[in-house]
Amino acid sequence: MPSRNRTPAAAEPAAAAPVKKAVAKQAAAPKVADATATEATAATKAVAKKAPVKKPSKAAVVVVPAGPDLEQTRRARRILRLLTTRYPDPVLELDFASPLQLLVAAVLAAQTLDERVNLVTPVLFARYPTAEDLATAEPAEMEEILQPVGYYRKKTQIVMKLAATLVERHDGEVPGTFEELVELPWVGRKTANMVLGNAFSVPAISVDTHVGRVAHRLAWGPENDVEGTEAAIAALFDQKDWVSVNLLLILHGRRTCHSRKPACGACPLAEDCPSIGLAGKGELDPEKARALLK
């Protein structure tokens, strides 16, 4: 099985025909799409007047809306197969050996790269292996360890406060429920669901910037709406697939579907993506697109 560090460009198909076909299909029926969108908007407003939709509770992992139609489900399954072929061994790119390590690593990953976090966490957890150790650390010593991740003074305060709360409320253990996790300082929906899915094997969807972007481009979820995207993805896939889908979307966002210039010409989802080309921002040329892969 290929490792996750393999060079993507060596294994990519030419993808020229699917991309051209997808672009042609997209250009051929804009009026139909506009009409469909108008009808859908009108229908949505009508339903909203009859039965206002309640926002998902903060204390719930995800609120699953009414199920998608058969064609949407088939398309989602097809996309899952294609992503699994492209990324056959999806794993979280933050290294951890326990729920505590993942929780702390997730907090440290704010505004920095996972690679930088992975450089410091072995040293951090060797020096402070338990929540009690982290909570009672000498701040100057921890700051020195955390310098490579940036904002090291603030992050030292956060880690120590988080650890102290774990000791005070949970005997130094990371709780295994969404409700308890989001009550911890500096732990929001994204981090709580990341810990549940990857450290506790609980079906959960953690919407980070990559998941939100890819889901929106695939017309799966609203832009910049974490809870709406969670619900949309949850409705398309069985619970047993949630964590895998989550990891695949993260990898696809990092490797192929970039924020500013997605590698559309080398994307396995070209035929199924309504955002192909991204209005001129995406690279459609297969050779140039492969050069953008990470």
208 catalytic? Reply is: yes
| Cβ contact 18:271 at 8 Å | yes
- Closest by Cα among 259, 258, 257, 261 to 272: 257
- Closest by Cα among 172, 176, 224 to 61: 176
20 catalytic? Reply is: no
Cβ neighbourhood burial of 39 (10 Å; 0-12, 13-18, 19+): exposed
Cβ neighbourhood burial of 16 (10 Å; 0-12, 13-18, 19+): middle
**Using CA atoms, how far apart are residues 208 and 252, in angstroms rounded to an integer?**
12
Catalytic position from the list 208, 225, 240, 288? 208
Catalytic position from the list 89, 154, 190, 241? 190
**Using CA atoms, how far apart are residues 61 and 227, in angstroms rounded to an integer?**
9
- The residues carrying an active-site annotation are 190, 208
